[in-house]
């Protein structure tokens, strides 16, 4: 085999440049442990920095396991699409065909929600219910049995609103159709065929390998280990995977192909794999994307189209961005909040610009306008969280907090709240905004209004929050 004599020096140069950037950025953001992987020019490059834990430090590398949070949803979606390819599930069928035991607060909606509505977040279901249904094989069935407690944000198909509960329900579809547990189904349909040998759901599987723990601000303000390492088992389909940068990059390489595994097996027909990155619904004013495909966030960055999905756990964060037209992918992982998300976003932007010449910039907010700012001040809530938009005299600020009653009722540790941080309104109708500081820095959203022009809600992170009428008078 002929080997390009310039390849090895190029590989070394790429590794050095990536390693220097990763060390610099991790230090800047104060993250104990990070890892970044890039697929470009047909080659993998990894760089890691720091340690798995401040209490029990071990070096991080590309095989270290991180909680990838909602990036798990992409594997759930492909497992489901394998059943579609086999004719065992229909995208436009009502989900009750596969989960006949489903009971929701709105009986009409429960009968109408389709599998595709779950996959592209148009089910009308709220974000999630915070409940621990145990570690048994019935955990997901027990979660679904509690879904009558979940609020609705709209009619099925009316709009997109990101829902963790929707993906947990998809996990139950996988269980009922295959006769396996969700974890067994994903292992059989995805992990095994793709050789993802360093991806796990169970703590017992993880604990014998090197893994990162999350961190967040302690009582003294310094970073401390987040004691709750994983989500509940009932949340596995929407965000329970632990994986490595090497496995996630291998997952990205599959997305860049024609649905075949490396040994030539047709895991998913190319037309179905590629259909997953076709827009099914529009997203407005979101840094996450311009629309949803099937699971994937779709975005155009500096003239190129990307498919993306990120995730967060308790002090652990993952960001995966794939550029199909350029045969490129980048994954970033970090083990501390609140700056894990900004680190990952910085790493992704550096890689896009460094390898592809693609520049991803935040839009510039408008100068502060007290009159316009006063229109959006208030408290906004969904089923789990409250956003507070306030004035500090010279700027708008936004804070995000888990509702006290949710935090008190939870029998497991939950992530820290986001303290007030600066935000600014964006050009246009004045209803879109960007957060310009803090752990939510760079995140975008928009305010919604009723027919009279009064503000009634806010969208952030693909989720809708309704205004709390009595919060401000």
Cα separation, 432 vs 285, whole angstroms: 6
- The values of phi and psi at residue 211, to 5°, are -140, 155
Condensed to tens digits (0 to 9), the pLDDT of residues 206-239 reads 999 999 999 999 888 899 999 888 889 999 999 9
The larger pLDDT score, comparing residue 1 to residue 316, is at 316
pLDDT at 2: 45
Q: Kindly state the percentage of the chain with pLDDT values over 90.
A: 75
Residue whose token pair is 């145990």: 134
pLDDT at 164: 95
Condensed to tens digits (0 to 9), the pLDDT of residues 397-422 reads 999 998 888 888 776 667 778 889 99
**383 Cβ contact list (under 8 Å, min separation 6):** 126, 127, 128, 129, 150, 151
Angle CA 305–282–129, to nearest 5: 110
Condensed to tens digits (0 to 9), the pLDDT of residues 279-318 reads 999 988 777 789 999 999 999 999 999 999 999 999 999 9
Instruction: Give the helix/strand (H/E) hosting 306.
Output: strand 304-312
**258 Cβ contact list (under 8 Å, min separation 6):** 270, 273
Contact 85, 269 (CB under 8 A): yes
> Which of these, 26, 82, 62, lies nearest to 343 by C-alpha position?
26
Contact 248, 320 (CB under 8 A): yes
Peptide bond into 338 cis (omega under 30): yes
Average pLDDT, the chain: 92
What average pLDDT does this structure show over 379-387?
Answer: 89
Residue 240 clears pLDDT 50, i.e. is over it: yes
- What is the Cβ-side half-sphere exposure of residue 398, based on CA atoms within 13 angstroms? 29
Cβ atoms < 10 Å from Cβ of 161: 23
What average pLDDT does this structure show over 80-109?
Answer: 97
> Which of these, 317, 323, 312, 311, lies nearest to 351 by C-alpha position?
323
Task: Give bridge partners of residue 114 from the DSSP assignment.
Answer: 94
The larger pLDDT score, comparing residue 362 to residue 236, is at 236
Angle between helices 72-85 and 164-178 (to 10 degrees): 40
Cα separation, 225 vs 442, whole angstroms: 25
Q: How confident is the model at residue 321 (pLDDT cuts 50, 70, 90)?
A: very high
pLDDT at 218: 87
């Amino acid at each position: 085999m002929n080997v390009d004599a310039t390849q090895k020096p190029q590989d070394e140069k790429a590794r050095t440049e990536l390693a220097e950037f990763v060390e610099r950025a991790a230090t800047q953001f104060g993250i104990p442990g990070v890892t970044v992987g890039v697929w470009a020019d047909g080659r993998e490059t990894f760089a890691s920095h720091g340690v798995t834990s401040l209490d029990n430090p071990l070096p991080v590398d590309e095989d270290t396991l991180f909680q990838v949070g909602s990036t798990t949803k992409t594997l759930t979606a492909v497992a489901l699409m394998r059943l579609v390819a086999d004719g065992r599930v229909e995208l436009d069928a009502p989900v009750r065909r596969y989960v006949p035991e489903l009971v929701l607060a709105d009986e009409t909606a429960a009968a109408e929600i389709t599998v595709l509505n779950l996959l592209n977040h148009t089910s009308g279901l709220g974000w999630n219910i915070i409940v621990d249904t145990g570690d048994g094989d019935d955990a997901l069935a027990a979660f679904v049995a509690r879904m009558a407690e979940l609020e609705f944000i709209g009619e099925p198909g009316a709009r997109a609103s990101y829902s963790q509960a929707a993906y947990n329900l998809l996990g139950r579809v996988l269980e009922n159709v295959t006769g396996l547990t969700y974890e067994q189904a994903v292992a059989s349909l995805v992990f095994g065929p793709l050789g993802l040998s360093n991806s796990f759901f169970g703590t017992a599987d993880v604990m014998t390998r090197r893994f990162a723990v999350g961190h967040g601000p302690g009582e003294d303000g310094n970073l401390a280990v987040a004691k709750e390492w994983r989500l509940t088992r009932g949340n596995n389909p929407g965000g329970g995977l632990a994986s490595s940068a090497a496995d996630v990059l291998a997952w990205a390489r599959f997305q860049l192909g024609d649905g075949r595994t490396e040994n030539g097996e047709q895991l998913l027909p190319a037309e179905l794999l590629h259909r997953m990155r076709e827009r099914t619904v529009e997203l407005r004013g979101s840094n996450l994307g311009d629309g949803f495909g099937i699971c994937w966030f779709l975005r155009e960055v500096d003239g190129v189209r990307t498919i993306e999905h990120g995730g967060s756990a308790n002090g652990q964060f993952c960001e995966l961005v794939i550029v199909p037209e350029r045969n490129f992918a980048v994954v970033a992982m970090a083990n501390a909040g609140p700056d894990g998300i900004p680190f990952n976003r910085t790493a992704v932007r550096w890689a896009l610009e460094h390898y592809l010449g693609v520049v991803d910039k935040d839009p510039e907010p408008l100068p502060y306008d007290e009159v316009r700012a006063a229109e959006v001040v208030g408290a906004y809530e969904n089923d789990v969280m409250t956003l507070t938009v306030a004035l500090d005299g010279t700027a708008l600020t936004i804070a995000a907090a888990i509702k006290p009653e949710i935090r008190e009722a939870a029998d497991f540790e939950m992530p820290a709240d986001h303290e007030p941080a600066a935000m600014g309104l964006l050009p246009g109708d004045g209803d879109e905004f960007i957060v310009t500081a803090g752990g939510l820095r760079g995140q975008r959203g928009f305010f919604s209004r009723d027919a009279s022009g009064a503000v009634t809600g806010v969208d952030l992170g693909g989720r809708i929050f309704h205004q709390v009428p009595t919060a401000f008078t």
